[in-house]
Amino acid sequence: MDETPLPDVTEQFARSLAAEPDEIIAEMDERAARQGFPTVGPAVGAWLRLLARLTDAERVFEFGSGFGYSAYWMAPALPADGELVLTEVDTDELDAARGYFERGGYADRAVFEHGDAIEIVSRYEGPFDVVVIDNEKHRYTEAFEAVRENVPVGGVIAADNAIEAGPLDFGDIRALLDGEPVDTSDANRGIADFLDHVRSEPAFEIGLLPLGEGVAVCVRVA
């Protein structure tokens, strides 16, 4: 059985349709390639921007921002008086994100929070029209529960790495979702638990964006 979850041709075609990256995004892509730093990539980045536009997003919260790649893709979709909250435990990465936003002209709508995103989000009140979850994989369900009441009906929670990533195994995640006993990592269990948790929630509907490493798109419906 072919266990390749996302065919390369899908990713390549999506990139050809994606919005053209500006100089800052191009610089970020070069940095990620040079450092081997995991970002969502331009195909998913462009989709996150579309999600922000489709929801008429005014406020966005991100669990785990790195040097600001995903957040920067979404920034143009927010109004000048909007708010995009970036969170990161690495001070150097957060400082880099701040620099990119300042140079790109989007610092006016960004808040840079240093520390644990799950602790940080408790200090904020909703609504957040779009939420991106990209922190520790075993804490995805915890992140979802921490923010769900701050997401309005029609709002979106997008979780990266729903299928694969460096520490993840697609076959194990699928087996766990099918209820099969698997001796596997905490990261695999974290993703499977999150997907199973959200699909059982009547207030949310979940679907898969099969680009990058897989993005679970959860829409609040009630």
pLDDT in tens, 39-86: 999 989 999 999 999 999 999 999 999 999 999 999 999 999 999 999
CA atoms within 13 A on the CB side of 151: 25
Please give the pLDDT value at position 87. Answer: 98
Say which residue, 54 or 176, is predicted with more confidence.
Answer: 54
Determine the residue type at 215.
Answer: V
Q: Please report the pLDDT score of residue 170 as a whole number.
A: 76
Burial track 2-39 (b if 16+ CB lie within 10 A, e otherwise) = eeebbeeeebeebbeebeebeebbeebbeebeeeeebb
Q: Which residues of 107-146 are buried (b: 16+ CB within 10 A; e: fewer)?
A: bebbebbeebbbebbeeeebebbbbbbbbbbbbbbbbbeb
Fold of the 8-220 domain: Rossmann fold (3.40.50)
- Residue 34 phi/psi, 5° resolution? -65, -40
**Count of other CB atoms within 10 angstroms of residue 170:** 19
The whole-number pLDDT of residue 7 equals 59
pLDDT at position 44:
93
Residue 15 has pLDDT above 80, yes or no: no
Q: In this predicted model, what pLDDT tens digit does every residue of 112-141 receive, in sequence order?
A: 999 999 999 999 998 999 999 999 999 999
Poorest-confidence range of 9-13, 118-122, 192-196? Answer: 9-13
More confident residue, 2 or 199: 199
Q: Give residue 11's pLDDT.
A: 64
Mean pLDDT along residues 154-182: 83
